[in-house]
Amino acid sequence: MTQTKRPNVIWVISDQMRAQAMSYIGDPNVRTPNLDRMAWEGMSFTNAVSGAPLCSPFRGALLTGMYPHHSSVPGHDYPLSTEVPTVAHAFRAAGYRTCWVGKWHLDGNREGLDLTQQENIPRFRQIPADRRGGFEDWWAFEYSNEPFRSRIHTDVNGETVSYRMPGYQTDDLTDIFIDWLKDRPKDEPFFGVLSVEQPHTPYIAPAENMAHYNPAGLKLRPNVPDVKWVTERARTELMGYYAAIERVDYNVGRLRAALEELDLDDDTYVIFFADHGDMHGSHGQFWKTAPWEESCRIPFIIRMPGRSFQVMLQNPTLINHVDIAPTTLGICGINKPEGMEGQDYSNQFLDYQPVFDRPMSEQVPPNAPDSVYLSIPVPTYHPDSVDRPWRAIITADGWKYAALEGQPWLMFNLNDDPYELINLAHNTWFRHRRKQLQERLAQWIHDTQDEFKLA
């Protein structure tokens, strides 16, 4: 695809939205017409992975293109270092205007913060300009967990001010982002981020969306055990979860309409993804921080301006959190900065020509990786979390292997067992496969200069 001028890019980040929870993927419960449209008008990466399925370490890796053990954010409550360059710095150096709207969750429990003071509590905290990862225009909060009337902080005449937004957070953040699109300097290309907190605990959305979901009528995934307390909790939480996803989808539609109204649609890439997923009762687990599919697989859709293909492009390449920044820069013809460990996969759609008589799943580009590396270096110990560090790989040929320190933990053949019902990690019939995967995981640990003791 030939570009006559530098394109704009927008990231839309949804918190805690698992890859399986979209209608075009096949979830029978939820309605996502605007995300479905994006997938038809662009490319959907069907094997996108949250290499650290937890908010802060994912976001640190996202912005820096570095794995969590290098990014300065290995876990929750670790502040993003002001010494580490980010994707925003690279865009600004190339003449782009940058903007962040919404959840940040990278300020951490930094030195000097008295967390007993209300003004330092995450939802009240005003994040200093030098701690914003290089973003210029700023309407943000550390994290909120307030779906309605959330607090937000911005700059007015050189002073940081705070106020409560009037309605549902996802709607309000989208309003702010659209207003920024209208008011931004028109002589600069832009890189903007709309980072919404829902779908996230508490699982709730506007009443009109909640009305579309009846817990008793929801179809649970086959790996949710038929245990009363598990299924009751899963159905109750999924009601609000799906309603919140439906609202995210509605606001993606609003954003797309605004781009068309502002005559930006043909110049702007929109990239939609999440920081991690949510277990919702699969394997009897809830929330995140785990290597199971519902926690670590994320949606990743790139809407391409001027797309003319008449088939949905579903790319099976494994794309990880560290790959998102270099790929985004690559879209705009900007080389990734030294230090970014992820790969630039922009060529996989900028110059992509599908072969229409072959299934998309078989059309793997030549530079696709053989595997991706996942980790939780620092456990959070919050409820429903995995309480110890782990490392894992997912391979392009459909295997997953996860290890605790000194101990194999999980091994699945996802080709035959997509719901991960058969753990082969300790089955002697599969010891040779485990040895192969263990060696590949050890190579990832070595290559990324990580520290983790395998068995």
% of residues, the chain, pLDDT over 70? 95
The first and second tokens of residue 161, run together, are 């001010």
Contact 329, 335 (CB under 8 A): yes
Where helices occur in 50-128 by DSSP H, the ranges are 55-64, 68-71, 87-93
Write the pLDDT tens digit of every residue in 192-204: 999 999 998 999 9
**Quick one: pLDDT band at residue 3, thresholds 50, 70, 90?**
very low
Q: Which of 119, 118, 122 is nearest to 107 (CA)?
A: 122
Domains of the chain by start residue, with CATH: 8-362 (3.40.720.10), 388-447 (3.30.1120.10)
pLDDT at 154 (0 to 100): 97
pLDDT at 361 (0 to 100): 55
Where helices occur in 65-125 by DSSP H, the ranges are 68-71, 87-93
- pLDDT of 355 over the 70 cut: no
The more confident residue out of 117 and 208 is: 208
Cα distances (Å, whole numbers) of residue 117 to 120, 150, 245, 288, 296: 6, 19, 34, 29, 35
Instruction: Give the pTM.
Output: 0.95
- pLDDT of 291 over the 60 cut: yes
Distance between CA atoms of 67 and 51, rounded to whole angstroms? 8
**Quick one: pLDDT band at residue 32, thresholds 50, 70, 90?**
very high
**Quick one: pLDDT band at residue 115, thresholds 50, 70, 90?**
confident
Write the pLDDT tens digit of every residue in 228-269: 999 999 999 999 999 999 999 999 999 999 999 999 999 999
- pLDDT of 285 over the 60 cut: yes
- pLDDT of 360 over the 80 cut: no
pLDDT at 279 (0 to 100): 98
Q: Which amino acid is at 29?
A: N
- pLDDT of 428 over the 80 cut: yes
Average pLDDT over residues 398-405: 97
pLDDT at 111 (0 to 100): 85
The more confident residue out of 381 and 399 is: 399
pLDDT at 289 (0 to 100): 96
**Quick one: pLDDT band at residue 116, thresholds 50, 70, 90?**
confident
Q: What angle do CA 126, 91, 199 make, to 5 degrees?
A: 50
Average pLDDT over residues 395-409: 97
Average pLDDT over residues 140-157: 94
pLDDT at 153 (0 to 100): 97
State the helix-helix crossing angle for 55-64 and 321-331, rounded to 10 degrees: 30
pLDDT at 363 (0 to 100): 61
pLDDT at 1 (0 to 100): 40
